[in-house]
Amino acid sequence: MHWLTDDQRALRDMAANFARKELEPIANQIDLDEHTPDELVAKAAALGFYGLYTSPEYGGSGADLVSVCLVVEELAKASPAYAGMLTVQMVLCPRTVEILGTEEQKRRILPGSASGERLLAYSQSEPAGAANIAGHLTRVVPDGNGYRIDGAKLFCTQGTAGTWLVMAKSKDREGNEGYGCFIVEREDEGFAIAPHENKLGWRGTNTGPISFDNVFLAEDDILGDILTGGFSHRAANQANLLAHVASSIGCAQGLFDKTFDYVQQRRLYGKDMAELQPIAYWLAECHAKIAACRALLYDTVRAFEAGAATADGGNICKAFIGETCFDVCVKLLQMWGGSGIMNSTGVNRYMRDARAKCVAEGATEMHYAIIANNLLHDQPTLVPRNIVKTSG
């Protein structure tokens, strides 16, 4: 990508070096243990990865989304699971706080997130589905000088979070109902974190259910408008989808690089494996698909940064690139034969992570439903990254 700035290239190279020296040696163990070591988080935070997309006045670097995607892609080449978790910490949560939060809330939450000392989590999904908010049961209602939240959420990517941004049905003091965003702390009485699920992919992210039993929320625990806070951070959601897709591309590229080296070293039937059909054809096809996905992503990201992206640009990338990268990983893993299904080689985790990425941050079908709806209605462009609307 000849158009990258010197700063963007430097960030990409720093991330690639970190992935090679710190992440790659333990990536298989992260998958097997379903645990991301605290030491890795600390090392990544020291390089500024957790605060990369956070504004400088709150302890971050204020980098653009291109830089974020470059970093995520490089990390995903070593561990797609860790890179996927990082997008939530790096983009979705802090950007939501910057868009919706008061100045007090930003200064209370963002510096700890940017330093990696107190990480954030985002929670919306319920048994009725992530986007089917009409069926959600978690509710926030007025109580005395504050509010109470009751209910439960599924599939929350916890990591080692200390603060949760929770989406829930809401009612204000006048009895009006809506859907809002609320700040819940790990230490809040009545907030419970259940053991994480054992899952197919993204195994270092500690995904699991959380619940709220009459948890008290003060006024400054409401993020944005109590009735519309769940809808007012679209730019954060779209930015996160694009960063998430960068991890899908890194996932496919990481497996491609390992597979390319593998087939060049093997001989079958008296020939170099790379010279056999359909191996050479498959390699070329996978390479072409990864290149096409990368071009689509960065074209969309640059449009997003310029404030010229369509309202469903992130959805298009999430649906198309996610599924394409999964298909690529399936084909690449086939080239490993029996070695590919052995956990000891550490390559089948790429295919499992690629599959998980088609579900995480909204299943492919949900994104195509959004795209279909947008085809039938005029949609505005997204809020540019450098225009942040604050409340209070």
Domain containing residue 32: CATH number? 1.10.540.10
pLDDT digits (tens, 9 = 90+) for 337-377: 999 999 889 999 999 999 999 999 999 999 999 999 888 87
17 with 81, same domain?
A: yes
239 with 351, same domain?
A: yes
Q: How many domains does the chain have?
A: 3
pLDDT digits (tens, 9 = 90+) for 126-168: 999 888 899 999 999 999 999 999 999 999 987 679 999 999 9
For residue 285, the domain's CATH number is: 1.20.140.10
229 domain residue, yes or no: no
Percent of the chain with pLDDT over 70: 96
Residue range(s) defining the domain that contains residue 244? 234-375
Closest listed residue to residue 49, CA positions, set 74, 24, 31: 74
Closest listed residue to residue 193, CA positions, set 207, 204, 180: 207
74 with 103, same domain?
A: yes
- Amino acid 196: pLDDT: 87
Average pLDDT score over residue span 42-50: 96
298 domain residue, yes or no: yes
113 with 38, same domain?
A: yes
The C-alpha atoms of residue 288 and residue 142 are separated, in whole angstroms, by: 55
- Given 117, 152, 185, which residue is the final one in a domain? 117
Average pLDDT score over residue span 224-229: 95
274 domain residue, yes or no: yes
- Amino acid 381: pLDDT: 55
Q: Is the dihedral of CA 124, 218, 150, 157 positive or negative?
A: positive
255 with 365, same domain?
A: yes
| 54-58, 92-96, 207-211, 265-269: range with lowest mean pLDDT | 265-269
82 with 142, same domain?
A: no
- Amino acid 77: pLDDT: 98
90 with 180, same domain?
A: no
| C-beta separation of 391 from 100 below 8 A | yes
The C-alpha atoms of residue 99 and residue 107 are separated, in whole angstroms, by: 13
- Amino acid 380: pLDDT: 53
213 confidence band (pLDDT: 50, 70, 90): very high
245 with 343, same domain?
A: yes
49 with 110, same domain?
A: yes
- Amino acid 159: pLDDT: 66
212 with 306, same domain?
A: no
pTM of the model: 0.93
